[in-house]
A = this chain, B = another copy of it.
Amino acid sequence: MLRAIRGEDVERPPIWMMRQAGRYMKVYQDLCKKHTTFRERSETVDLAVEISLQPYEAFKPDGVILFSDILTPLQGMNIPFDIVKGTGPIIFNPVREMDDIKSITPLEPEKSVPFVGESLKVLRNEIGNEATLLGFCGAPFTLASYIVEGGTSSHYKVIKKMAFDSPAVYEALMNKLTDAVIEYTRYQADSGAQVVQIFDSWASEFSPADFEVYCLPYLQRIVAECKQTHPHVPLILYSSGSAGFLERLATTNADVISLDGTIDMADARARLGMDQAVQGNMDPLHLFASQDFITKKVHETIAKAGNKKHVMNLGHGVMVGTPEENVGHFFKTVRDFRY
Identify which of residues 261-319 in chain A touch chain B, using a CB-to-CB cut-off of 8 Å. 261-264, 267, 281, 283, 285-286, 288-290, 293, 300, 315, 319
Chain B residues near A165 (CB, 8 Å)? 289-290, 293
A85 interface residue per 8 A CB criterion: no
Of A207, A210, A262, the most chain B CB neighbours within 10 A belong to: A207
Report the stretch among A22-30, A58-66, A67-75, A152-160 that lies at the interface. Answer: A152-160
A158's nearest neighbour on chain B, judged by CB, is B288
Number of interface residues of A (CB under 8 A): 34
Contact yes or no, A262 B207, CB < 8 A: yes
Shortest Cβ distance from residue A290 to the other chain B in the assembled complex, whole angstroms = 5
Chain B residues near A288 (CB, 8 Å)? 157, 160-161, 164
A294's nearest neighbour on chain B, judged by CB, is B164
Interface string of A47-63 (1 = CB under 8 A from B): 00000000000000000
A319's nearest neighbour on chain B, judged by CB, is B155
Contact yes or no, A289 B164, CB < 8 A: yes
A113 interface residue per 8 A CB criterion: no
Of A156, A206, A241, the most chain B CB neighbours within 10 A belong to: A241
A106 interface residue per 8 A CB criterion: no
Interface string of A226-252 (1 = CB under 8 A from B): 000000000000000101110000000
A80 interface residue per 8 A CB criterion: no
Contact yes or no, B207 A283, CB < 8 A: yes
Chain B residues near A157 (CB, 8 Å)? 285, 288, 319, 321
Chain B residues near A300 (CB, 8 Å)? 209
A117 interface residue per 8 A CB criterion: no
Shortest Cβ distance from residue A167 to the other chain B in the assembled complex, whole angstroms = 10
Chain B residues near A281 (CB, 8 Å)? 207
A204 interface residue per 8 A CB criterion: yes
Contact yes or no, A286 B164, CB < 8 A: yes
A201–B324 CA distance with the chains assembled, in angstroms:
31
A289 and B161 in contact, given A209-B300, A264-B209 (Cβ under 8 angstroms)? yes
Can you report 9 residue pairs joining A to B where beta carbons are below 8 Å apart? A157-B285, A160-B288, A160-B289, A161-B289, A207-B264, A241-B241, A243-B243, A243-B245, A243-B263
Which 7 A/B pairs are nearest by Cβ-Cβ distance?
A: A243-B244, A164-B289, A243-B243, A208-B264, A244-B263, A244-B262, A160-B285
Given A161-B285, A209-B264, 5 further pairs, Cβ under 8 A: A157-B319, A157-B321, A204-B262, A208-B262, A210-B283
